[in-house]
Amino acid sequence: MADDGIEAGRKAAIVIGAANSCEGVDAEYRYVEYLLGPENVKWHLCFQELIFDEEGVPFDKLTIELFDGTFREFWFDISSFYGRY
């Protein structure tokens, strides 16, 4: 049985299409900055986790703290570039 947190994250994941890990991770941060504003001005990264679902699909989970003290999670499907450098 799938972990409920992983299942929810998988369903909400933003698919990142990139040729390699550098481009992919950069796209993740650009997406968060587009929504929340500049890093270290409006928010900072608390955790970045690599998570695999039960089918082996890789996801990057970012836990963000906004400077008002609230937290947000962003899930990214990184299967297009995971392991490509």
pLDDT computed for residue 20 by the predictor = 94
The Cα–Cα gap between 21 and 35 comes to 21
pLDDT computed for residue 3 by the predictor = 66
The amino acid occupying position 37 is: G
- What is the pTM (predicted TM-score) of this model? 0.87
pLDDT computed for residue 58 by the predictor = 96
Q: What is the pLDDT of residues 59-83, one digit of tens each?
A: 999 999 999 999 999 999 999 999 8
pLDDT computed for residue 1 by the predictor = 42
The Cα–Cα gap between 42 and 45 comes to 11
Residues of the chain with pLDDT under 50: 1
The amino acid occupying position 32 is: V
